[in-house]
Amino acid sequence: MIVTTKREFKDLLANIKDYNSFFLIGCSECASLCGTGGEPELEELKEALEKEGKTVTGIFRAKTGCQVLGTKVELKPFKDTIGKTEAIIVMSCGAGTQAAVEIFPDKPVYQSNDTIFLGNMTRYQMFDERCSLCGECILDETGGICPVTACPKGLLNGPCGGTNDGNCEVSQDIKCAWVRIYERLNRIGRLDDMKKTIEPKDWSRGQKPRAMSVRKKEEKKK
Amino acid sequence: MSFSDILNSGKFVVTAEIGPPKGTDIKEMLHHMQVLRGKIDAANITDNQSAVMRICSLAVCKLAMENGLEPVLQMTCRDRNRIGLQSDLLGASVLGIKNVLCMTGDHVSAGDHKQAKPVYDVESVQLLKIVDGLNDGRDMSGNDLKGATDFYQGAVVTPESNPIEPQLIKFGKKVTAGAKFFQTQAVYDMEGFKTFMGHAKKFPVKILAGIVVLKSAGMANFMNKFVPGIKVPQVLIDELKAAGKEKALDTGMDIAARHIKQLKDEAICDGVHIMAIGMEDKVPDIMERAGLL
Ligand code: SF4
Ligand code: SF4
């Protein structure tokens, strides 16, 4: 899921200082699980803004805030309210914020969160980054552990000299990605995989902005 | 004689390190070059070592040549993408720099520009392959070069890495990728190093053992605690302690000289790489004590 973290309230206040009335949009997917854009957070921000003398004209938790069309449909009943509101605050990820920007081309849209990574939820509200969406996956060559993400240097051919009793030189709090890969390959009897040299990555596969349409392909087939 | 010729001649080789300064005042560095001139076989010029921004390795390699030293261009993958690396390699080649040491490089978080974006477009094994390609007259994309390079390329290895097997697998990959010589992380346990050499000797490469002079028991303890891949045995720490504060450095130099002598006399490896870290002045003295001068 997309992991987000709350911004400092004072930073948000500084950004929205030119406006007085707001409509708040949360998201029931990732942002709810991260505790940054669910029902409690919407209520909390509403209260905080009101304490600062601002008006909150409404709050709404979108089903999937990054889904542009669906969110647009969901927000239809609030059309008049939002029309009379000065600005919108989105409490989800950067993608959700930009969905709102597309839905409301004439309204200022602000965000209450920073978007940090694509994460696995390991326990409730605990997240780990395991994939950095590089566009050319090498998991099959590395025992299913991603060195592009798990190694701070993104090394593809084994540990650097900094492996420290199995930990990473960059942070003693994380295990060296390549020691993990080594142990995993050893365990599944595929240590020879580690002896193959992985060629430099084709970073052009991750060239931004990326877009994809499954639909277009099908349409072309016709 | 080129560095590769010297290594292949069977002579016990000594390399040392020159760390470029931060800033344009190079008086002290030039002095270190004078001290080392004619004594060592080659000098590594570090590449923004520990991710601390300094004069670039390339420029200092050129200065080293002008001052009578054979330079080894250290090249890390931290600060340049594949275009920058290849371009600098071509530049090094036309300046007459013959030796290159391909490394991954310390992470920016270790240095003095922690907010920098680390590059690591490619890494040490891949960089070795790139050098091999340039030597063959083509760039990484397979384009023909107008004039090939003629580098003698090396790499690094950490013999005391724990666990050791992943490190040895990578060592093998570096050899396959074209590494001709290796300079190791500092080693202090000669018996342990012999075990590593038992493995390394199976490959057609030259190995220079890393020597870092111990200045005090405190430094040894610090390295054991904080520097990955370095293990100073307790006996050496005790020896430094027994020497007392004033004689600690002298004892540290004796230990270094003793290790160098043993490595040479027992033909354990092909030479040593002395990392004096600010004490370049002392390198000739250590060599003398080891019977090399
Ligand atoms: S190799 Fe790329 S796509 Fe695969 S897990 Fe790693 S970052 Fe994600
Ligand atoms: S210690 Fe391991 S995880 Fe950390 S940078 Fe080096 S190879 Fe990567």
pLDDT of residue A215: 87
Is the beta carbon of A170 within 6 A of some atom in ligand 2?
A: yes
Confidence of residue A35 (pLDDT cuts 50, 70, 90): very high
In tens, the pLDDT along A101-149 reads 999 999 999 999 999 999 999 999 999 999 999 999 999 999 999 999 9
Q: Is the pLDDT of residue A222 over 60?
A: no
Closest-approaching ligand to the CA atom of A151: 2
Q: What is the mean pLDDT of residues B195-224?
A: 97
CA of A205 to the centre of ligand 1 (A): 11
Q: Among A178, A89, A168, which residue's Cα sits nearest to residue B109?
A: A168
Q: A25 or B227: which carries more pLDDT confidence?
A: A25
Q: Quick check: B165 and A182 in contact, CB under 8 A?
A: yes
CA distances from B260 to A139, B5, B252 (A): 44, 21, 12
Q: Where does B3-216+251-286 sit in CATH, by number?
A: 3.20.20.220
Confidence of residue A217 (pLDDT cuts 50, 70, 90): low
pLDDT of residue B277: 85
Which residue from B78, B177, B228 is facing A162, i.e. has the nearest CB?
B228
CATH topology for A2-117 is: Rossmann fold (3.40.50)
Contacts of A174 by beta carbon, 8 Å cutoff, 6+ apart: A150, A167, A168
Q: What is the mean pLDDT of residues B232-259?
A: 96
Q: What is the mean pLDDT of residues B35-49?
A: 97
pLDDT of residue B278: 83
CA distances from A119 to A129, A150, B230 (A): 5, 12, 34
In tens, the pLDDT along B81-112 reads 999 999 999 999 999 999 999 999 999 999 99
- Judging by DSSP bridges, how do beta strands A113-123 and A126-129 pair with one another? antiparallel
A49/A46 Cα distance (integer angstroms): 5
Q: Do B229 and A162 touch (CB under 8 A)?
A: yes
Instruction: Map out the domains of chain A as residue ranges.
Output: 2-117, 136-206
A201/B270 Cα distance (integer angstroms): 35
**Ligand 1, closest atom to CA A147?**
6
Q: How many helices and strands, by DSSP H and E, does chain A display?
A: 9, 7
pLDDT of residue A220: 56
pTM above 0.80, yes or no: yes
Contacts of A135 by beta carbon, 8 Å cutoff, 6+ apart: A202, A205, A206, A210
Is the beta carbon of A150 within 6 A of some atom in ligand 1?
A: no
pLDDT of residue A178: 98
- At B97, list the tokens: 């720099």
Ligand 1 atom 1, closest CA: A137
Q: Do A163 and B172 touch (CB under 8 A)?
A: no
In tens, the pLDDT along A157-207 reads 999 998 888 999 999 899 999 999 999 999 999 999 999 999 999 999 999
Ligand 1 atom 3, closest CA: A137
